[in-house]
Amino acid sequence: MAKIIIERDKCKGCLLCVSVCPKGLIIVDKDLNQKGVNPVKFSPLVSRIPSKARQVNDECLGCSLCAIMCPDCCIEVYK
């Protein structure tokens, strides 16, 4: 069990975290944040990878790759 918390209003929407999440658990939020950009959000329930049905190993690993990549230090990781 692991999770990430994204500081929504600090996110600049660069999507680098999306590109590195091995489970595809970070998606673009349709609602704008205070900066006026579409931030990312943690979406542990629905996998973005369409070919994969929801499985146990779709859960967040707590690998922290997203947080390491984030240029704006918006992501905290819990495990």
Positions in the binding site for other proteins (CB under 8 A)? 1-3, 10, 12-16, 19-20, 35, 37, 62, 64-65, 67-73, 75-79
- For residues 28 and 13, is the Cβ–Cβ distance under 8 A? yes
Would you say 40 or 53 has its CB closer to other proteins?
Answer: 40
How far apart are the C-alpha atoms of 19 and 58, rounded to whole Å?
16
Would you say 1 or 53 has its CB closer to other proteins?
Answer: 1
Residue 64's Cα: distance from chain center in Å? 10
Residue 38's Cα: distance from chain center in Å? 13
Please report how close the Cβ of residue 51 comes to other proteins at its closest, in angstroms. Answer: 21
Please report how close the Cβ of residue 60 comes to other proteins at its closest, in angstroms. Answer: 11
- For residues 25 and 43, is the Cβ–Cβ distance under 8 A? yes
Would you say 27 or 65 has its CB closer to other proteins?
Answer: 65
